Each structure stands twice: as C-alpha cells, then as structure tokens.
Amino acid sequence: MTIPTSSIEQVIPGQGSMAQPEAAKPSRAKRQRFLFVRNKKAATGLVILGVYVLIAIIGPWIAPYDPSARSNDLVQGPSAAHWFGTTHLGQDVFSQILEGTRSVMLVGFLAGAIATTLSVLIGVTAGYLGGKMDDSLSVLTNVVLVIPAVPLMIIITSVLNNASDTLVALVIGLTSWSWNARVLRAQTLSLRRRDFVEASRASGERTWRIIVFELMPNLTAVIASGFVGTVIFAVLSEITLAFIGVVSNSGWNWGTILFWAQGQQALGQDAWWWFVPAGLAIALLGTSLSLINFGIDEFVSPRLRSAGKTKLKTASGGTVRMRIGFTPVLSNSATPHTHAKVVATPVMREAK
C-alpha cells in the first residue's frame, strides 16, 4: 500500500487558486532582470567602480595642477590650495592621484581582459575536446601555473626600458591566466556530458556553436568572477612594480606616489598626506572589486543569497519564513492572509 504525499499548491493571497493577473507579469520580469543590481554588495561595488572609471577618463582634465610641476610650497599639509598637500618638490598630491588613476585602471582592465580571454580559450577548449588536446593544453597550463609571476614580471619589465602601461598590462595578462583556465576546464568537464550538450551534439551542431551557445552561458559567472580577481591582481602587480622602482617613474600612478614618498622618508617627516590618499585609493578600489565578486557569487548561488536569512520573498512578492527541519512551501489555504502560509510537508515512504 502506498500512502500519498501531501499536495503542494501555491495560492495567491485573496484570490484562492486563480492565476495571477497579466498586469503583474511585466513588473515581476523587470524585478528578475535587475536582480543582480538589487544586491547591495554588487550595487555598492559598481557605484564605487563607476566613480573610478569616471576619474580615469576625466582626471587629467580636472586636475588643478600639473602633477610634475614644482612650487615653493614644500611638504605642506592639506589646505584649500592643495587638498591632499604637497611633496618635497612642492608637487600637488591630489593632481598626482587624479593623473595616476587612468594608468591603474588601464593596466588593470586590459590585463584582466587578456588573461580572461586566454583562460577561456584554453580552459574551455581543453575541457570540452578532451583527449590529446586536453593533455597538451593542461601541460601548458601547469607549466605557466608553477612559474612565479611577480619575479618574471620584474625581470621582463626591468629588461625593457621605459615600459609603457600597455606593455605592463600585456606582461601581467600573459602570466596570470593559468589558474582561471584550470577552473574553467574543471567546470567544462562537469558540463560536457549534460543532456543539453548531448542533445546539441546529436542534432549536428558544430563544436564552436556548442561551446559558445551551450557551455559559455553556464560559465558566465565563473568567467566574470575570474575577470574581477585578475583585475585586482593586475592592479596590485602594477602598483608593486612601480613601488619597487622596476618600471619607469616618469609617468604617474599610485605606486609611483608611494615610491617617492618612501624614498623621501615621508613617514619620518610626518607627511602622512603624501602616502595615505594613495593607500586609501588602492584599498577602496580593491573593496569595490571584491564587493562585485561577492555579488556575483550570491547571484549565482541561491544558498549564498539566502544564507542567514529567515524570511525569503517569493516571485509573487509574498514572504516565506524558513523553519529548521522543514521545507518551506506555499499551502493551498483559502484563508485571506497578506503573506503565503508556510506548512511542513513530510515525505511519506512506501509501506511494505
């Protein structure tokens, strides 16, 4: 004898078991479309990153002084004339920060784009094709993975005199793709035998169409997360190279500011305004990228999105209260409540 399980149905408050009106569907679709932006972490990170991008575009134009111009205001603290103070040569620190933002953002995003492109091409191709192609690309990935990236970048940039921002981004991008390629290969291996991929292969779809239109949409979150992580690594790498004086210090970026502050003993002179603004700019940019990364993780994983919450909103706008030990469902109750009622539905086993 089989004991039937409890039936589970969703009831719209105040309408019994009737379907929702058509007017409510566009608003629900709109909420789903902007679900990622509704995440507070992602929204905060995007706003801060947008400010940095805007400064990178218009920063050199709105800088009040030439960042390399000297004046008689030597090592002066913040004032109305110099918001972030001056250096030992009377240079305006605020203008240097604005000028250096473009270099940092250019290197970070260009290196992230190069590394992400290589990781997608190598990782997804190796995971989907398999066989000798997978073995060859995996060997290449493992070789690049064990090479110390920072010492290699120091050697390359020190050999090349007056390395431009584009060249620095190229070096960083070519040496930082291997880890993301391994992650994408592992994800592709778990997807290539799924039913939708097998159906596309059985229907005669070309390999590149399967990779682009079947696999890539399911790897979007992993690719985006890898891109954000690579941008953070590229920004820190460029600032490190400038701080230790490997790259040319003729241009301005945040690492160059810290290089001159350290070389002229700014801390010993109590000239905190010389290095604190650059440090805060680095920390704030890293925070914004990390918040975007956290937002991507929560957007993809429902478990992270609902972690620690006892009340969750349904698609219709109602509220479901989580109960430990039970599965929250919407009951088929005719009582007019403003929110859906939660009931426990234990699953009955077959009686022998």
Could you tell me the two tokens for 318? 């109602």
Backbone angles phi, psi at 332, to 5 degrees: -95, 60
Q: What is the pLDDT of residue 41?
A: 86
Token look-up 């022998």 returns 352
- Tell me, what amino acid is at 308? G
Task: Rank 24-28, 214-218, 228-232 by mean pLDDT and report only the highest.
Answer: 228-232
Could you tell me the two tokens for 219? 């790897």
Helix 40-62 and helix 93-129, axial crossing angle in degrees, nearest 10? 130
Concatenated DSSP letters of 133-170: HHHHHHHHHHHHHHS-HHHHHHHHHHHSTT--HHHHHH
Is the pLDDT at 348 greater than 60, yes or no?
no
pLDDT over 90, % of the chain: 26
In contact, 228 and 111? CB cutoff 8 Å: no
313-337 burial, b at 16+ Cβ within 10 Å, e below that, comes to eeeeebebeeeeeeebbbbeeeeee
How wide is the angle at C-alpha 86 spanned by C-alphas 85 and 90, nearest 5°? 155
Is the pLDDT at 352 greater than 70, yes or no?
no
Q: What is the pLDDT of residue 151?
A: 83
Confidence band for 336, pLDDT divided at 50, 70 and 90 = very low
Is the pLDDT at 350 greater than 50, yes or no?
no
Could you tell me the two tokens for 282? 């680095």
| CATH class of the region 37-305 | mainly alpha
Q: What is the pLDDT of residue 302?
A: 63
